[in-house]
Structure 1
Amino acid sequence: MINSEEAIEELKKIVKQKGLKYTEQREIVLSILIHAEDHLSAEEVYNEIKTKHTDSNIGIATVYRALSFLEEVDLITSITFGSDGKKYESNAKSHHDHLICTECGKIVEFLDDEIEKRQERIAKKNKFKITNHSMQLYGTCEDCQ
Structure 2
Amino acid sequence: MISTEEAIEELKKIVKQKGLKYTEQREIVLNILIHAEDHLTAEEVYNEIKSQDNNSNIGIATVYRALSFLEEVDLITSINFGTDGKKYESNAKSHHDHLICTECGKIIEFLDDEIEKRQERIAKKNKFKITSHSMQLYGVCSDCQ
Partner of 1:108, secondary structure, is: strand
Match in the other structure for 2:5: 5
How far did 1:18 drift? 0.1
Q: How does 1:67-78 map to 2 (within 5 A)?
A: 67-78=67-78
Q: How does 1:8-87 map to 2 (within 5 A)?
A: 8-87=8-87
For 1:58, the aligned partner's letter is I
Q: Matched residues, percent identical? A: 90
Name structure 2 gaps, 5 residues minimum: none
Distance (Å, rounded) in 2 between the aligned partners of 1:49 and 1:99 = 27
Distance (Å, rounded) in 1 between the aligned partners of 2:106 and 2:125 = 35
How far did 1:20 drift? 0.1
Farther off after superposition, 129-138 or 50-59: 50-59
For 1:37, the aligned partner's letter is E
How far did 1:56 drift? 2.2
Aligned residues: 145
Match in the other structure for 1:128: 128
Name structure 1 gaps, 5 residues minimum: none
Match in the other structure for 1:105: 105
How far did 1:54 drift? 2.5
How far did 1:55 drift? 3.3
How far did 1:53 drift? 2.5
Partner of 2:69, secondary structure, is: helix
**Residue 137 of structure 1 pairs with residue 107 of structure 2:** no
Farther off after superposition, 45-54 or 25-34: 45-54
Q: Deviations over 1:52-96 (max 9, x none)?
A: 123320000000000000000000000001110000000000000
- Structure 1: 4+ residue segments shifted above 6 A: none
